[in-house]
């Protein structure tokens, strides 16, 4: 979002007051679709809205409840009734992110032949992100997982100062957390009482492109003298090759700086185990299935592996050693 776009939205929200006699109080924007301006608005409950004129476009929206809600509705502004794509956000804690969504949607509809359809496509991308990541803070388990991935990223950057942050794929929900030059790495954070790991999909423990796959198990424990996720983020900011990509990955992972909510959870890595994934590793991969894929009608596969079954295939290793082999 540019400073100009941000200031325009800030002015719009600043002049809008809660409506009393009508459903919405709106502010017209400079972006015009079907000869009508797009608008931002607020309703009587204080929820924020973006209204994109749809005119006679035939469009439909995802009706499922979400942090971003979307409906098609007819509204009258200045005596002219028009159909609008109405995108709304009811959570004040997400209003900063909503401004980013508004800006992205306005960019998508500007000059589009079918602006309502373009708006719905842009909104769908953001709904997937909002659904997959708790944007205003991670759960405790989520913090542990991110701490483990950042710990490994720190070792990779230590082994190669030019290590591309784009090779960190975990936040994008891709099969492997890291796609390094020589090896792939999948990281699993284990709590003090963990007795199993959860595997997502047929590809997470499968190899590809002729590169070995390391399954790295990090036993992460609470430690008053340890590091917070924020500590690790600040440490890496000064050493990663691209801060822009780093910020993007952190956002996709669900992490955001929250000055009003200090990060108080401190962790340390107590144990590191490495499994070079091979034919004897307990796992389910496409070659495990007769057809090489899940049956028709069966969605994504998630399964658990007992640590007692996988640890005999592991060896102790330092993250420095793992990183050196991955980047060489």
DSSP string, 111-168: T-SSHHHHHHHHHHHHHHHHHHS-TT---HHHHHHHHHHHHHHHHHHHH-TT--GGGB
> Where among 85, 112, 132 does a domain terminate?
132
Helix 95-109 / helix 115-132 crossing angle, nearest 10 deg:
150
pLDDT digits (tens, 9 = 90+) for 105-148: 999 999 899 999 999 999 988 887 766 554 446 778 889 999 99
**Helix 319-327 crosses helix 140-159 at what angle (to 10 degrees)?**
60
Q: Which value, to the nearest 10 degrees, does the dihedral of the CA atoms of residues 122, 124, 130, 132 take?
A: -130
Cα–Cα nearest to 138, from 200, 220, 229: 229
Give the closest residue to 43 by CA, choosing from 87, 78, 106, 3.
87
| Token digits of residue 240 | 């990663």
The answer to whether residue 276 scores a pLDDT higher than 50 is yes
Give me the sheet containing 24-33, strands edge to edge.
24-33, 36-43, 48-53, 80-89, 69-77
Residue identified by tokens 């509705």 is 73
3 pLDDT more than 50: no
Q: Clarify whether residues 99 and 219 are in a common domain.
A: no
Q: Based on the domain organization, do 145 and 219 belong to the same domain?
A: yes
User: Residue 176 has what pLDDT?
Assistant: 97
Are residue 145 and residue 280 in the same domain, yes or no? yes
For residue 238, give Cα distances in angstroms to 12, 232, 233, 241, 320. Answer: 36, 11, 9, 9, 19
Do 189 and 309 have their domain in common?
yes
Domain containing residue 50: 3-132
CA-only gyration radius of the chain, Å: 24
Map residue 256 onto helix, strand or coil: coil
Mean pLDDT of 163-173: 94
Same domain, 112 and 158: no
Which residue, 100, 132, 164, sits at the end of a domain? 132
Q: Are residues 100 and 183 in the same domain?
A: no
Q: What is the pTM of this model?
A: 0.61
What ranges make up the beta strands (E) of the chain?
A: 24-33, 36-43, 48-53, 69-77, 80-89, 178-179, 184-190, 196-200, 213-227, 267-276, 302-306, 315-316
Q: How much is the average pLDDT of 13-40?
A: 92
Non-local (6+) Cβ contacts of 260 within 8 A are none
Do residues 147 and 177 lie in contact, with contact meaning Cβ atoms separated by under 8 Å? no
Average pLDDT, the chain: 90
Is the pLDDT at 290 greater than 80? The verdict is: yes
**DSSP-derived pairing of the beta strands 36-43 and 69-77:** unpaired
- Report the distance separating Cα 157 and Cα 245, nearest Å: 14
Compute, in degrees rounded to 10, the torsion defined by CA atoms 36, 37, 38, 41: -110
| Tally of structural domains, the chain | 2
| Mean pLDDT, rounded, for 265-269 | 94
pLDDT one-digit tens code per residue, 36-74: 999 999 998 889 999 999 999 999 988 776 778 899 999
- Whether residue 178 is found in the same domain as residue 118: no
Residues 148 and 244 in one domain: yes
Please check whether residues 21 and 64 belong to one and the same domain.
Answer: yes
What is the CB neighbour count within 10 angstroms for residue 63? 9
Secondary structure of residue 224 in the 3-state scheme: strand
pLDDT band per the 50, 70, 90 thresholds, residue 4: very low
Q: 8 and 127 share a domain? A: yes
User: What percent of the chain is modeled with pLDDT above 70?
Assistant: 94
198 & 313 share domain: yes
Hey, which residues does 41 pair with through a beta bridge?
Answer: 26, 49
Q: What is the mean pLDDT of residues 25-38?
A: 94
Percent of the chain at pLDDT > 90 equals: 67
101 vs 14: CA distance, rounded Å: 18
Phi-psi region of 322 (alpha: psi -120 to 50; beta: other; left: phi over 0): alpha
Q: Are residues 194 and 278 in the same domain?
A: yes
Q: Which of 79, 104, 132 is the last residue of a domain?
A: 132
């Amino acid at each position: 979002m540019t400073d100009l776009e941000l200031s325009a939205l800030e002015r719009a929200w600043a002049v809008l007051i809660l409506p009393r006699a009508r459903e919405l109080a709106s502010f017209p924007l400079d972006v015009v679709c079907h000869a009508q301006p797009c608008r931002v608005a607020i309703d009587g409950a204080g929820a924020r809205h973006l209204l994109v004129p749809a005119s006679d476009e035939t469009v439909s929206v995802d009706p499922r409840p979400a942090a971003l809600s979307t409906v098609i509705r007819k509204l009258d502004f200045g005596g002219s009734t028009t159909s609008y794509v109405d995108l709304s956000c009811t959570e004040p804690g997400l209003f900063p992110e909503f401004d980013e969504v508004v800006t992205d949607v306005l960019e998508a509809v500007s000059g589009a032949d079918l602006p309502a359809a373009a708006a719905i496509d842009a909104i769908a991308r953001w709904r997937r992100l909002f659904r997959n990541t708790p944007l205003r803070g991670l759960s405790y388990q989520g913090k542990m997982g991110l701490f483990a991935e950042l710990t490994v990223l720190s070792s990779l950057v230590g082994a190669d100062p030019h290590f591309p942050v784009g090779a960190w794929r975990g936040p994008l929900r891709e099969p492997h957390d890291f796609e390094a030059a020589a090896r792939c790495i999948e990281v699993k954070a284990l709590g003090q009482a963990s007795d199993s790991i959860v595997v997502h999909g047929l590809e997470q423990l499968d190899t590809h492109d002729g590169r070995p796959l390391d399954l790295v198990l990090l036993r992460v424990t609470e430690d008053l003298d340890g590091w917070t996720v924020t500590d690790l983020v600040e440490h890496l900011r000064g050493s990663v090759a691209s801060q822009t990509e780093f910020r993007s990955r952190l956002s996709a992972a669900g992490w955001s700086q929250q000055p009003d909510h200090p990060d108080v959870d401190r962790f340390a890595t107590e144990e590191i185990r490495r499994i070079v994934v091979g034919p004897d590793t307990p796992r389910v991969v496409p070659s495990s299935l007769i057809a090489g894929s899940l049956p028709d009608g069966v969605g994504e596969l998630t399964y658990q592996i007992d640590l007692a079954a996988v640890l005999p295939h592991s060896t102790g290793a330092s993250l420095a050693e793992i990183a050196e082999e991955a980047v060489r």
